[in-house]
Homo-oligomer: A and B are copies of this chain.
Amino acid sequence: MPDKTPSHAEAMKIVQGMYAKDRFSQLLGIEIKEAEPGRCRLTMKIGKDMLNGFGIVHGGVTFAFGDSALAFASNAYGRLAVALEASISYPAPVNVGDTLTAVAEEVSLTNRIGIYNITITNQNGAKVGLFKGTVYRTSKEHLKEANS
């Protein structure tokens, strides 16, 4: 387990290392705007292939966006953290052409467990997804892998 919290630069390096392998986040066009231990901000543009059967955006797209934010914020400490469970509410629909922003904020952190709220908004600032996730923090480190 790392002796200290990574710097912002180290955290960004960890998260970019994850993103380089994260094919699904790439497929969705997710971009990392900021990342530090316990926090991140992502954006994504909504395309036509993200629609569901009602002509609005599939709930799985919005969830996946939140889930990536959960992974980046919680892993930016340098310890491998895996999601245990997550929930989402949809205050408003997402439409094709929207640009979404996800901001992950840490609500609680213990040695083994982290809890995060991720707020997803559209280009007008309207909330379109409220995501809450819990991660289990393993003892495995990211930086050693990243450096190898």
Query: Which residues in A have some Cβ–Cβ distance to B below 8 Å?
Result: 17-28, 48-55, 57-61, 63-65, 67-68, 71, 75, 80, 82-92, 107-108, 112-113, 115, 117, 127, 130, 132, 134, 136
Contact = CB atoms under 8 A, between A and B. Distances in A.
Given A112-B136, A136-B113, A71 B53 contact: yes
A17 B53 CA distance: 8
Contacts of A80: 54
A93 B61 CA distance: 19
Going nearest first, the 9 A-B pairs with the smallest beta carbon separation are A60-B64, A18-B53, A91-B108, A87-B87, A24-B58, A22-B53, A85-B89, A59-B67, A63-B63
Nearest to A85: B89
